[in-house]
Amino acid sequence: MVELYTVLSRWRVRWRVGISSFVGGLAFGCMLAFVILPHRTTLDVSDSWTVIGHSETLPGESSLDEQSRGSQGENTDQHVRVACLIPTTPANVKSKAIHVKATWGKRCDVLAFFSSEEDDHLPAIKTGVVESREQLWNKTKFMFKYAHEHFQQRADWFLKADDDTYVVLENLRHLLSGFRTTDPVYLGRRIKNFAVTEQGYMSGGSGYVLSKEALRMMIEEGIDNYNVCHEDGGAEDVEMGQCMENLGVEAGDSRDEHGEETFFPFLPEHHLNIHQVGDPDFWFISMSWYPHKKGLSCCSSKAVSFHYVTRPMMYTLEYLIYHLHPHGYHYKWSPQKQDVMSELLANLPPKRQRRRRRRKNSTANSPS
């Protein structure tokens, strides 16, 4: 009897422990699901995007309220309203466009996608233009004409950006706050090609933005005058540059207060890589309107856009820009310092500095 009682006692203890573990595990699982599932819902960009903040929404357009757009930046006294016009294709809707919509696109005042086919799920506006590089200029003209007809009362600036471009809207608004939308001006990464334009043109990949007056002039004075804005043409960004120059629209300076560029036709790693983007024969170096800077001086701390952004990189940039904040870190980089490498080498430990000097001296004294 004593042995039976002992066995029963041990069984009751194990049963209570098992029940406690089960209940605890169940509670933990519920809590984990409560934390994770909402995030999975927001990242599932195949879901329909709820349109809020306006009682009426045009086909292919998504409008967001102030809370959805997020912070507009501390230095902007008045909100700069930006309409984002994104050309895409039926093949790129799921691989590219929806990821623009899930990341930086939600900070636009007006977000509109344009494709050869209407897409109610994205949504996308049907352009009626065949998808090809040769027809990209016609597609671009359609986009800006549509924006002129439908978005004038809801935006002051009109941004064209590809579906593989990432844009930091807060930095764009900060840049635009230094210009007047009533002036005929457009901004982007300025490229030099005197064979086609005297004032250069803005690289299409990194995106460019038109003031309201520039848009008005393009649609009302240029788009139907093929001597001003060509009917057909070659590269879309070159055609836009010629159209703007013929209309008298100024190619504005988009550099920051330290003379550093803000629009980038490539990924951050390419612009920061001295060896890859330092070749003077590379078209980007030779055709840049302003002198190219190497190292960290290549890029403004108020960068606006990057191009050739893949789907994983789109979310990586979103995390690094808006979610990663080093605790207790104060930014030490000063854009005013031009000699980046000298500054970095000066901060090397004494032992490494001596080693570097020895290598330098031995190289200088070696026989040729």
CB 174 within 8 A of CB 302: yes
**What integer is the mean pLDDT of 220-232?**
89
Partners of 188 in beta bridges: 208
What's the pLDDT at 365? 55
As a whole number of angstroms, the distance between CA 103 and CA 82 comes to 16
What's the pLDDT at 280? 65
Question: What fold is seen in the domain 61-255?
Answer: Spore Coat Polysaccharide Biosynthesis Protein SpsA; Chain A (3.90.550)
How do beta strands 157-160 and 124-126 pair? unpaired
Q: Which residues of 275-297 are buried (b: 16+ CB within 10 A; e: fewer)?
A: eebeeeeeebeeebbeebbbbbb
Q: Is the peptide bond before 350 cis (omega within 30 degrees of 0)?
A: no
What's the pLDDT at 281? 67
Give the rounded distance of the alpha carbon of 144 from its chain centre.
20
Contacts of 19 (CB under 8 A, 6+ apart): none
Residues above pLDDT 70, as percent of the chain: 66
Alpha helical stretches, state H, the chain: 2-43, 66-69, 98-102, 136-150, 169-176, 212-217, 236-247, 268-272, 274-277, 283-287, 311-322, 340-346, 350-365
Predicted confidence (pLDDT) at residue 67 exceeds the cutoff of 70: no
Greater model confidence, 274 or 90: 90
**What integer is the mean pLDDT of 55-81?**
48
Greater model confidence, 180 or 195: 180
CB 200 within 8 A of CB 290: no
Q: Which of 57-71, 94-108, 172-186 has the lowest mean pLDDT?
A: 57-71
Q: Which of 93-97, 126-130, 263-267, 363-367 has the lowest mean pLDDT?
A: 363-367
How many helices and strands in the chain, by DSSP H and E? 13, 12
Q: CB count, 10 Å around CB of 95?
A: 14
What's the pLDDT at 354? 61
Predicted confidence (pLDDT) at residue 3 exceeds the cutoff of 60: no
What's the pLDDT at 164? 96
**What integer is the mean pLDDT of 156-161?**
97
288-306 pLDDT tens trace: 888 888 777 788 889 999 9
**What integer is the mean pLDDT of 17-28?**
44
What's the pLDDT at 348? 52
Q: Which of 59-73, 301-315, 354-368 has the lowest mean pLDDT?
A: 59-73
Greater model confidence, 32 or 176: 176
Query: Any idea which residue has 């170096």 for tokens?
Result: 285
As a whole number of angstroms, the distance between CA 51 and CA 61 comes to 9
What's the pLDDT at 199? 93
As a whole number of angstroms, the distance between CA 186 and CA 159 comes to 10
Predicted confidence (pLDDT) at residue 358 exceeds the cutoff of 80: no
Among the listed residues 238, 236, 6, the one whose alpha carbon sits nearest the alpha carbon of residue 143: 236
**What integer is the mean pLDDT of 34-50?**
31
Predicted confidence (pLDDT) at residue 175 exceeds the cutoff of 70: yes
Strands (DSSP E) contained in 255-304 are none
Q: How far apart are the first and last CA of the chain?
A: 100
Residue 90 pLDDT level (bands cut at 50, 70, 90): very high
How do beta strands 201-202 and 250-251 pair? unpaired
CB 99 within 8 A of CB 309: no
DSSP 263: B
DSSP 318: H
Q: CB count, 10 Å around CB of 131?
A: 17
Domain boundaries, the chain: 61-255
Among the listed residues 167, 155, 159, 173, the one whose alpha carbon sits nearest the alpha carbon of residue 78: 173
Greater model confidence, 141 or 329: 141
What's the pLDDT at 2? 45
Give the rounded distance of the alpha carbon of 138 from its chain centre.
24
Q: Which amino acid is at 276?
A: Q
What's the pLDDT at 352? 57
**What integer is the mean pLDDT of 346-352?**
56
Q: Which amino acid is at 98?
A: I
Three-state DSSP state, 87: strand
**Dihedral of CA 69/73/74/79: which sign?**
negative
